[in-house]
Amino acid sequence: MSNIKGICYSDAVFKLIKTSGKARLGTLKTAHGKAETPFFMTIATAGAVKGLLPEEVRELGGQVLLGNTYHLHLRPGEDTVKKAGGLHKFMNWDGPILTDSGGYQVFSLSKIRKLKQDGVEFQSHLDGKKIFLTPEKAIDIQKKLGSDIMMCLDVCPPYPAKRKEVEEAVAYTSDWAVKCKKAKGKSKNLLFAIVQGGMHADLREKSAEELIKIDFDGYAIGGLSVGEPNKLMYKVLDSTVPLLPSNKPRYLMGVGTPEDILNAVERGIDMFDCVLPTRNARHGYLYTSRGVVRIKNEKYKNDMKPLDPDCGCYTCKNFSKAYLRHLVMAGEILGLRLCTLHNVAFYHKLTKDIREAIRENKFEKFKKNVIKYMLKR
């Protein structure tokens, strides 16, 4: 389905419904249902969102969860998950699941891995055991997990990195993408490729062109939010996003802050994930409609007002900032749960409001208001 202006079209996986500038409203179809884009994926690295029940994530507006191939391979092991009926049944989540391939661990665990032509050798961070992850193995693990969206194994270079290192990362990523596509075979799992290239526009273009020729269900942009300045990240997005097929979903990996999400949506990104809402919650760093609240601060000791009067989550409807501060300072598990619940609610409400703003063709105005009132106060 399409129209002459190219604003609305549909294929078996992704349907673009409306645009507001470059911001896109759409739906992504998976084996476990459709998800409205743009959306944010709550992190469930080892098959669980830290501090929350699956049903709570769903009630907060969560559509898609993100698991990790490397960590689930180490424990409990993909065969155990498969025996349970797949990751969905194992963790009691009936919505879509995307699994990272382990490519991020090539970056984050660089001190305990060796990069080779046909894969990556890891030294397990749990027991020191050697693990060799090939592109084919990464796909086999994800098939057994039963993820709706599988990611190709890639190489994420650090920042800063020498050009030669980034060139090698692009070469590995393209070569492994071919192997991942072949290993996928006729399985119904969706498979996304990951565009690399560091901060080099020409290498990003080379990576995108090589991956698009192979033809995947969606395309991710990796290797950002790895320490580079925000302005540089946006510059890379400005040159890279237009290279990606307009009829496929676009996923910006590991990003990020509310401001980053707004700026990336403005550039045409559809999918996001990040540890920030859950990790920051555990440290008392809370996002609200009136700016960030560092709940450990002394000024909240006797503050009997709700965390965010504009938020309808359980935390904000039932507890004061003073009580949250008390729980966090006392090391109570309930404090971590309530803070996590709020931050996850904030992120999902933000993306829901983004979708509504695009639907009403008011995204630009919405973005300015959010940055002014939520993030700058």
- Give the CATH number, domain containing residue 263: 3.20.20.105
Asked whether the beta carbons of 131 and 124 are under 8 A apart, the reply is yes
CB atoms under 10 Å from CB of 231, counted, come to 8
In a domain, 368, yes or no: no
Query: Is residue 310 among the annotated active site residues?
Result: no
In a domain, 24, yes or no: yes
Burial 124-161 (b: 16+ CB within 10 A, else e): eeeeeeebebbbbbbbebbbbbbbbbbbbbbbbbbbeb
In a domain, 102, yes or no: yes
The percentage of residues in the chain with a pLDDT greater than 70, rounded to a whole number, is 96
pLDDT digits (tens, 9 = 90+) for 7-63: 555 567 999 999 999 999 999 999 999 999 999 999 999 999 999 999 999 999 999
Instruction: Give the 3-state secondary structure of residue 78.
Output: helix
Instruction: Give the 3-state secondary structure of residue 193.
Output: strand
Residue spans of alpha helices (H) in the chain: 54-59, 69-74, 78-83, 87-91, 103-108, 135-145, 163-184, 201-214, 230-240, 258-266, 276-282, 314-318, 321-329, 333-359, 363-370
Please state, in angstroms and rounded to a whole number, the distance separating the CA atoms of residues 223 and 111: 18
pLDDT digits (tens, 9 = 90+) for 212-233: 999 999 999 999 999 999 999 9
Domain region containing 263: 9-273
DSSP 375: I
Q: pLDDT band at 105, cuts 50/70/90?
A: confident
Number of domains in the chain: 1
In a domain, 249, yes or no: yes
In a domain, 143, yes or no: yes
Q: What mean pLDDT comes out for the span 244-266? A: 97
Please state, in angstroms and rounded to a whole number, the distance separating the CA atoms of residues 163 and 194: 18
Q: Which of 100, 148, 260, 270 is catalytic?
A: 100
pTM: predicted TM-score of the whole model, two decimal places: 0.95
Q: Output the average pLDDT for the chain.
A: 94
Which pLDDT score, from 0 to 100, does residue 10 have? 59
Which pLDDT score, from 0 to 100, does residue 4 have? 36
Please state, in angstroms and rounded to a whole number, the distance separating the CA atoms of residues 192 and 253: 12
Which pLDDT score, from 0 to 100, does residue 3 have? 42
In a domain, 215, yes or no: yes
In a domain, 96, yes or no: yes
Please state, in angstroms and rounded to a whole number, the distance separating the CA atoms of residues 269 and 311: 26
User: Given a cut of 80, is residue 376 above it in pLDDT?
Assistant: no
Q: pLDDT band at 152, cuts 50/70/90?
A: very high
Q: Which of 148, 217, 260, 273 is catalytic?
A: 273
In a domain, 255, yes or no: yes
Query: Is residue 215 among the annotated active site residues?
Result: no
Which pLDDT score, from 0 to 100, does residue 374 have? 77
Which amino acid would we find at residue 212?
A: I
Adjacent-strand bridge partners of 132 = 121
